[in-house]
Structure 1
Amino acid sequence: MFASYLKTAWRALLRNKTSSLVNIGGLAVGMAAAMMIALWIVDELRFNRGFEHYDRIAQIYQHETENGKVETYKGLPLPLDKELKEHYGRIFKNIVITAWPLDATVAYGNKVLSESGHYMGAGTPELLSLRMIRGTRDGLKDPHSILLSASVAKAFFGDADPMNRMMKLQNEEDVKVTGVYADLPQNSDFSDLQFIAPWDLIGSSPWLQRNASVWDNNSFQILVQLADGVSLAEANAAIADIKHQHDPPEEKKYNARLFLHPMRDWHLRSNWENGVQTGGAIESVYLFGLIGVFVLLLACINFMNLSTARSEKRAREVGIRKTVGSPRGQLIYQFYIESFLVVGCAFAAALLLVQSSLPAFNDIAAKDIAIPWRAPWFWTADLAFVLLTGCIAGSYPALYLSAFKPVKVLKGRVRQASLPRKTLVVVQFCISLLLIIGTVVVYRQIGFTKDRPTGYDRSGLIMVEMKTMDFQGKFDLMRTELKRTGAVTEFAESSSPLMEIWQNDGGYSWLGKDPNVEGDFAHFYVTHEFGQTVGWQFVKGRNFSRAFASDSTAIVLNEAAIRFMGLHGDPIGMTVTWGTGVDAIHYHVIGVTRDMVMESPYEPVKQAIYNMGYRDTHWMIMRLSPQQSTAASLQAIEKVFKQYIPSAPFDYRFADQEYAVKFATEERIGKLAALLASLAIFISCLGLFGLASFVAEQRTKEIGVRKVLGASVFSLWRLLTGSFVGLVLVALCIAIPLSWMAMHRWLEQFPYHTGIDWWIFVAAGAGTVSITLATVTWQALRAALANPVRSLRAE
């Protein structure tokens, strides 16, 4: 029986080639899109799951209440590490102190590379369950050791054994290679961990020694592994008050509360607002999961529409089968067999599409996804996917066609149920329009924020991190030599890169300060020419100048600082004090600049203080000469660096490129949304093409009669296309309010955002109508231009 049904289904496919190709093609594209989204979602949900102790690893965070708002930080004081190890061993199996990630110079012989790594505690390899290719996980117990990733070891030593080779780190420390670990997967927070140096290597530095008992310097991070049998809630309760108890009296007002942020939430739920977890990448998972369902639904709707549209051709078959005794269940079974045959062919085509499209998809999504051909879960999921798709796509045709009454069918009295088909077409275009409008709004928001005034000129600015001590004390020399080349018009140094805030300081006071407001500012040490180099835009006052010796205690504020401080008059000359008593430092304000966008371009700019500090700088900043080509300027600058700082590679960053990186997540969302919107339109139009060809075929005799009676080609074209355009207009009326509500809610998450202009809906509607007309016009004109003699000959 099954073989007979399968043979009948196959013949039905061959008998209606155009309809079959449209069905299989539409389903294949929809299934391929859904499969790629599913693989992306699996990759997101499996983020960090490659670590053996994934469900027991956490990072310690803290909440602090400042100016009535709860702020959340992962920066912690250094003595907390010792406190936890001495008194909380029952709670934690492993405690790892770590510095912030750094790009450091690593050298072997004459070869010097800049690599990303960490200074971390000796328990790191065990905590992260590193797979050691050479050496053991005890390698970091040697205070002058280094662990290398497999790729870095390959870059330095090729196929030779790197063990016990001596290397130079930051051109300061001689370290011995005590282990090589397998590169960590891209879908992890440690994917760029190219080397690990022991914490003890920097633990004896004077700065760390000074902070060994200081509880109000939050410059470190701590990772932990929960002990067996200890729950997250139990650990949170145990550590909550530790920092508050040890804080000095003046810091207790912040009411610090420690808590554990589990590894499972690092990537997906990393956003905090007023002390409450507010989501993160999980929102994109939900969004694209929903879009994937919609795109697959569009393809299923095509199948339903084309199957029911051809019901008249299948009506006699149904009538005869019922007359000779076939129960309805057998007919349903028959039509489901046809559905699964189409879905099976589409699935095979979809796998080929996914395999060939994954490289391009990975580029857009910044992923390294591959089809897990050998994973049993993949084929189990695929089987469930095919069964679900086949059931959805075949349900309406099977139930609709099997319900025909044999007497009416054989008398030719079957009436086409067009309302369900029209409804499905409207649903298709509603989904397509929602995706189109959403994509336009996302790109407008990105463009709007990119065009936001940044308070300085990014073009022609490059930054070089001062990674070794060889950079220190060479400011005047480097500035003179670089300007002499003609490649650089100005040169300066700063304590932070232009796109980040590396230091926040509290404890500032000024005349008229509200006693309930904590004076917390972003703090930057800069050299005299910083303003000229970056292109500061002054609102009031002046820049730092070598002509004024008093500028050693001068500060420049940004506009956000003026608003934060509540200053309404002229601030030039006013005194701002840091600290109290004999340790207090008094600064005088010499200038106010426009806000420089330093962190998220979607957020308000933080209040900032700039003051002079040549010994506290970490970044060199140069403005390239517009009179030379960028390539020639970079070559000239590199020669100067090789001459005066040969121990470090000339590793530069363009300020405008670093700024563009801040939009990477939103741009990926926009590109993926644009791709899916294009696929949605393609699938919808494929369905329209099939329906238009069927309608034109169905109305052949009517068109012939109209032509004989004098109907023009234009009137026939309007007759055949009008109904489809009408359905698109109905979809537009439904999609506009839905898309406005959805995108208005999305934009509200950004304090700095664009609006939703009326022309977006007009353009989306006009574009969709145009695409619809382009899709159905060929079939309509073909029918309108046909010779009526042929269609009426049988009459």
Structure 2
Amino acid sequence: MFRSYFIIAWRNLIKSKGYSLINIGGLAIGMAVAILIGLWIYDELSYNKYHKNYDSIAQVMQKQSFNGEQSTQISLPRPLEFELRNKYGNNFKHIVMSFWEGDHILSVGDIKISSTGRFMQAGAPEMLSLKMIKGTWAGLKDPSSIMLSASVAKALFGDKDPMDKMMRINNRMDVKVTGVYEDLPYNTEFKNVKFLSSWDLWMANNDWMKNARDKWGNNSFLIYVQIQPNTTFESVSEKIKMSKQQNVDAEDKKFNYEIFLNPMSRWHLYSEWKNGVNVGGRIQFVWMFGLIGLFVLLLACINFMNLSTARSEKRAREVGVRKAIGSMRYQLISQFLSESFLVVVLAFVLAVIIVATSLSWFNELSDKRITMPLANPYFWLISLVFIIITSLLSGSYPALYLSSFNPVKVLKGTFRVGRFASLPRQILVVLQFTVSIALICGTIIVYRQIQHAKNRPVGYDRNSLLMIQIKSPDLAVKSTIINSELKNSGVAVEVAKSGSPLTGVWSNNGGFDWPDKDPNKVGEFATIWITHDYGKTVGWQIKEGRDFSKEFATDSIGPEPDSTIAYSIILNETAIKYMGLKNPVNTIIDWDGYPLKIVGVVKDIVMESPFQPVRQTIYLVNYSAADSWINIKINPNLSAGQALAKIDAIFKKLVPAVPFDYKFADTEYGLKFAAEERIGKLASVFAVLAIFISCLGLFGLASFIAEKRTKEIGIRKVLGATVYNLWKMLSVDFVVLVIISCCIAVPVAYYFLHGWLQKYEYRIEISWWIFVLAILSALLITLLTVSYQAIKAALANPVQSLRTE
């Protein structure tokens, strides 16, 4: 029986090639989008699950009150480690101190590479359940040890066994290879960690870390933990909640510190905090794309339902004959569902081919490393369920509708589909275009929000600005010589050093007081250590006062500042507003007993997120503290290639042990938009596909209606109707449906997009013209889609259509 169903279904597909192509093609695109989004969501939901201890790992975080609001941060003081070990150690299987992920120079003989890694305590490899290729998890117990990822081990040692071999980090730390681990997958927070080295080694080479042992105010470190099996994150968080508050001095207790555990399961999808409360994160994109995938698949299913029910009169006689010879309704339903199943299976095969061929492009667009799980039995099981659900979704309504025809009326020729028979199709078309119009609005607003941030004044000149991180003492010692050589060679116009990159803030300090300061206001500022020529190099804009100058001895703070001298500082505009200073130049402020004199005010420089307000910032000249970055303003008369070649030659001559590893300021700044741009591009691609699927269904319906009204069109032409009259007659119904869709889509889109924009403090306002543009676009697309069939029918020879009358 089922064999005959499929034979009949195949014959119907072959008989109506045009409609079959629209059905299968539309469903295939819809299913391909659903599969791609499904793979993307699975990758997001499985983030960090590579680590076997995923359910028991957490990051220690803190909350603190500032100026009436609660901030949340991952940076912590070093003495918290000892507090957790000594008082609460029985709650933890591992407590691991870590320094921040960073780029370092790894060298073996003449081979030197720049690689990203971390310095962590010995329990890290076991806690993270690294898959060891050589060595064991205990490798970091040796204070002078390093564990390499497989790719870095290959780059440094080739095919040789790296175990127990000596190498160097940053040309100053000699270490022994004690382990090689499998490269971490792309969907883990530690994906960029290409080596792990000893925490004790890093501390031994940084005196400031030793001095931070008992400083509760120095929040410069990271702490990861693994809790014991017999406890929970909530119970441990409650126990350690006051572990910092009860140890800080009386002055700092006003910050109301709270320590808590943030489980690994929430790091990726729930990473945003506002006023001490978790407000989500990427989980909103998981929901958004999940809904988009569902809607796009629904649009494809709607096409199938619309075309199947629209062509019902052509199959009415077949249903009547079958019922007359004894077919039961459930048999007719089974037949029509089998036809639906065949279409969905063919569409699924085509969808898999589309996904397989477009996956590399999709990975590049979404910054993923997704693979097609063809060898995974769960994939095929889910696919089977997916096919069955889609078959039922797309085929149930046509099956129930077609099987309900009265055989007597059909065979007597008195069957009519009824004046409201097309109402369900019209509702489905409205639903299709509601989704499409909402996606058009979303795409426009996401694009405008990104452009709004990109066009934001950054306060400095990013063009031809090169940043080089000082990773080695060789580079730090010879930075003055490099400065002179770069200028003398003509490759650089200006050169300066800084303690933070231009695209980030690495230092924050409190303890500032100023005249008429509100006692309830916290004096905390982003603190940028620089050299004299920093302003000239980056091209900042002085708004009041002057720039730093070597002519003034007080413009530079030495390693041991004199508390009787008022050293010069420059503040940004936000800092002046924050402090409420009307005449800031020459104002003396106090920093924990050291007087500082404001000599200048610069326009705000966007160093962090371009979507958020600039923080209050202080710039100070200190050559020993400005030891992290070299900033080079390239001669504008040289091309980037020429300049890089000359700088590379200078570095090889002066610091041959240090690889020339550079970053362009404009490129690094552009990376700040990467996440939003990816979301915008994905949304725009899905919007285009949704509109295409909707138009595909619209095209099929228009062609069917034109075919159905062939004789009517012929009569109207004979009676004098023009092409325009006929085009208007066939198009107006679809235009009305699209207008109804617009009325529904606009308020829905506004509600959700307005909510999305609230996460950005620096954001656009939703303008009315965006919705007008979306509406006009939808109407234009509709008219273009329908007009082909309408004009084709209007231009047809009426003699041909009326010949049988």
Is the deviation greater in 755-764 or in 380-389? 755-764
1:304-337 deviations in whole A, cap 9, x for unaligned?
A: 0000000001111111222222222221111111
1:172-197 deviations in whole A, cap 9, x for unaligned?
A: 01111111100001000000010001
The residue correspondences of 1:24-173 to structure 2 (distance < 5 A) are 24-173=24-173
Q: In structure 2, give the amino acid aligned to 1:161.
A: D
1:394 and 1:468 map into 2 onto residues whose CA distance is 67
1:390 and 1:132 map into 2 onto residues whose CA distance is 46
**Contact 1:315–1:414 (CA<8 Å) still a contact in 2?**
no
1:492-513 deviations in whole A, cap 9, x for unaligned?
A: 1111001111011000001111
1:441 and 1:745 map into 2 onto residues whose CA distance is 12
1:410 aligns with 2:420: no
Q: 1:439 aligns with which of 428, 438, 443?
A: 443
1:540 aligns with 2:532: no
Task: Give, in angstroms, the shift of residue 377 of structure 1.
Answer: 1.8
2:477 and 2:512 map into 1 onto residues whose CA distance is 29
1:476-527 deviations in whole A, cap 9, x for unaligned?
A: 3222111112111111111100111101100000111111111000001110
2:637 aligned residue: 627
Task: Give, in angstroms, the shift of residue 31 of structure 1.
Answer: 0.3
Q: 2:569 aligns with which of 546, 555, 566?
A: 555
Task: Give, in angstroms, the shift of residue 136 of structure 1.
Answer: 1.2
1:25 and 1:108 map into 2 onto residues whose CA distance is 56
Q: 1:599 aligns with which of 601, 608, 613?
A: 608
Is the deviation greater in 123-132 or in 644-653? 644-653
**Contact 1:216–1:248 (CA<8 Å) still a contact in 2?**
no
2:307 aligned residue: 306
2:667 aligned residue: 657
1:772 aligns with 2:786: no
Q: In structure 2, give the amino acid aligned to 1:554.
A: S
Is the deviation greater in 531-540 or in 401-410? 401-410
Task: Give, in angstroms, the shift of residue 733 of structure 1.
Answer: 2.3
Task: Give, in angstroms, the shift of residue 54 of structure 1.
Answer: 0.4
The alignment covers a number of residue pairs equal to 790
1:718 aligned residue: 728
2:479 and 2:165 map into 1 onto residues whose CA distance is 34
The residue correspondences of 1:221-240 to structure 2 (distance < 5 A) are 221-240=222-241
1:586 aligned residue: 595
The residue correspondences of 1:272-311 to structure 2 (distance < 5 A) are 272-311=273-312
1:475 and 1:112 map into 2 onto residues whose CA distance is 20
2:492 and 2:738 map into 1 onto residues whose CA distance is 58
1:87-131 deviations in whole A, cap 9, x for unaligned?
A: 323100011110011100000111111100000000111001011
1:613 aligns with 2:622: yes
1:428 and 1:345 map into 2 onto residues whose CA distance is 23
Q: Considering only aligned residues, what root-mean-square deviation do their CA atoms show, in Å?
A: 1.2
Is the deviation greater in 710-719 or in 21-30? 710-719
SS in 1 for 2:219: coil
1:498 aligned residue: 502
Q: In structure 2, give the amino acid aligned to 1:201.
A: L
Q: In structure 2, give the amino acid aligned to 1:155.
A: A
Q: 2:656 aligns with which of 635, 643, 646?
A: 646
SS in 2 for 1:242: coil
The residue correspondences of 1:159-558 to structure 2 (distance < 5 A) are 159-204=159-204, 205-412=206-413, 413-416=415-418, 417-552=421-556, 553-558=567-572
1:137 and 1:245 map into 2 onto residues whose CA distance is 35
2:768 aligned residue: 758
SS in 2 for 1:35: helix
**Contact 1:462–1:622 (CA<8 Å) still a contact in 2?**
yes
Q: In structure 2, give the amino acid aligned to 1:570.
A: N
**Contact 1:437–1:764 (CA<8 Å) still a contact in 2?**
yes
SS in 1 for 2:90: coil
1:255-277 deviations in whole A, cap 9, x for unaligned?
A: 21110000000000011111111
TM-score normalized with structure 2 length: 0.97
* Structure 1: 4+ residue segments shifted above 6 A: none
Is the deviation greater in 352-361 or in 158-167? 158-167
**Contact 1:48–1:189 (CA<8 Å) still a contact in 2?**
yes
1:721-758 deviations in whole A, cap 9, x for unaligned?
A: 22222222221222222222221221122111112222
SS in 1 for 2:89: coil
1:742 aligns with 2:742: no
**Contact 1:98–1:119 (CA<8 Å) still a contact in 2?**
yes
1:593 and 1:539 map into 2 onto residues whose CA distance is 5
1:14-45 deviations in whole A, cap 9, x for unaligned?
A: 11111111000000000000010000000000
2:706 and 2:651 map into 1 onto residues whose CA distance is 74
Q: 1:572 aligns with which of 556, 580, 585?
A: 585
Is the deviation greater in 182-191 or in 84-93? 84-93
2:563 aligned residue: none
**Contact 1:364–1:672 (CA<8 Å) still a contact in 2?**
yes
SS in 2 for 1:249: coil
**Contact 1:703–1:788 (CA<8 Å) still a contact in 2?**
yes
SS in 2 for 1:88: helix
The residue correspondences of 1:672-687 to structure 2 (distance < 5 A) are 672-687=682-697
Task: Give, in angstroms, the shift of residue 431 of structure 1.
Answer: 0.5
Is the deviation greater in 49-58 or in 746-755? 746-755
**Contact 1:57–1:226 (CA<8 Å) still a contact in 2?**
yes
**Contact 1:186–1:368 (CA<8 Å) still a contact in 2?**
yes
2:560 aligned residue: none
**Contact 1:495–1:524 (CA<8 Å) still a contact in 2?**
yes
Q: In structure 1, give the amino acid aligned to 2:711.
A: K
1:516 and 1:397 map into 2 onto residues whose CA distance is 69
2:700 aligned residue: 690
SS in 2 for 1:230: coil
SS in 1 for 2:783: helix
1:792 aligned residue: 802
Q: In structure 1, give the amino acid aligned to 2:241.
A: A
2:245 and 2:762 map into 1 onto residues whose CA distance is 35
SS in 2 for 1:71: strand
1:15 aligned residue: 15
Task: Give, in angstroms, the shift of residue 46 of structure 1.
Answer: 0.1
1:538 and 1:339 map into 2 onto residues whose CA distance is 70
Task: Give, in angstroms, the shift of residue 766 of structure 1.
Answer: 2.2
Q: In structure 1, give the amino acid aligned to 2:611.
A: Y
Q: Which consecutive residues of structure 2, in runs of 5 or more, have no partner in the other structure?
A: 557-566
2:562 aligned residue: none
Q: In structure 2, give the amino acid aligned to 1:482.
A: L
SS in 1 for 2:466: strand
SS in 2 for 1:55: coil
Percent identity over the alignment?
Answer: 53
Task: Give, in angstroms, the shift of residue 770 of structure 1.
Answer: 2.1
1:167 and 1:487 map into 2 onto residues whose CA distance is 34
1:645 and 1:419 map into 2 onto residues whose CA distance is 78
Task: Give, in angstroms, the shift of residue 781 of structure 1.
Answer: 2.2
2:533 and 2:571 map into 1 onto residues whose CA distance is 16
Q: Which consecutive residues of structure 1, in runs of 5 or more, have no partner in the other structure?
A: none
2:366 and 2:793 map into 1 onto residues whose CA distance is 44
1:146-205 deviations in whole A, cap 9, x for unaligned?
A: 100001011112222111111110100111111110000100000001000111112334
